[in-house]
Structure 1
Amino acid sequence: MSRRTEMLKKVQQLNFVMIDVGLYLNNQPDSPAALALFNKYQALHAQAKKEYEEAYGPLTYNGINAEKDGWSWIQKPWPWEVED
């Protein structure tokens, strides 16, 4: 597996954990343990996404700097277009 694929997989896994814990928090909003877990994985996801985007380009619209780079969203292959 390429480094790019590994990095993308990590972003996806961390996003899944955030969604899962978020669903739990919808039912147990006063759980300090769940909130702490969500905050932990939110930070880990943000860092992994930042590292991926710095290396390979934006994953979402909010990953571009349109003032600096123009509409760079379409200038690189999409994450699913890259072959290992």
Structure 2
Amino acid sequence: MNKPLPKEYYTQLEEIQAIDFTLYELALYLDTHPSDSQAIQQYNQCAVYCKQLKAQFESTFGPLQFGSPNTNQQEWTWNSGPWPWQI
């Protein structure tokens, strides 16, 4: 890594990881409780929030995962890191 990452990078990434964890846990719960309308509502709210967080992160720091749009039309940003094992 050539330059240090700003604190916001880590803060936003941690928030994304937390909401992803919540989504996985809710999905597992809903697998065994498919008619729990409150859990379905919570899952849907978290899914929308997660999408917003990821869009905000990617607009600032670049692609988060394979298949994310490359928002920089002049340069392919996948090779500009950091890679997951570098953070």
Structure 2 length as normaliser, TM-score? 0.79
Identical pairs, percent: 27
Supply the AA of the counterpart residue of 2:27: G
Structure 1 distance, partners of 2:7, 2:61, is 12
Q: Count matched residues.
A: 81
Supply the AA of the counterpart residue of 1:32: S
RMSD after superposition: 2.2
Shift, 1:72, TM fit: 3.0
Q: 1:44 to 1:74 in 2, by over 3 A?
A: same
Structure 1 length as normaliser, TM-score? 0.82
Structure 1 distance, partners of 2:15, 2:85, is 14
More helix, by proportion: 1
| Equivalent in the alignment of 1:18 | 23
For structure 2, the 5+ residue unaligned runs are 1-5
| Equivalent in the alignment of 2:65 | 60
| Equivalent in the alignment of 2:3 | none
Structure 1 distance, partners of 2:7, 2:75, is 28
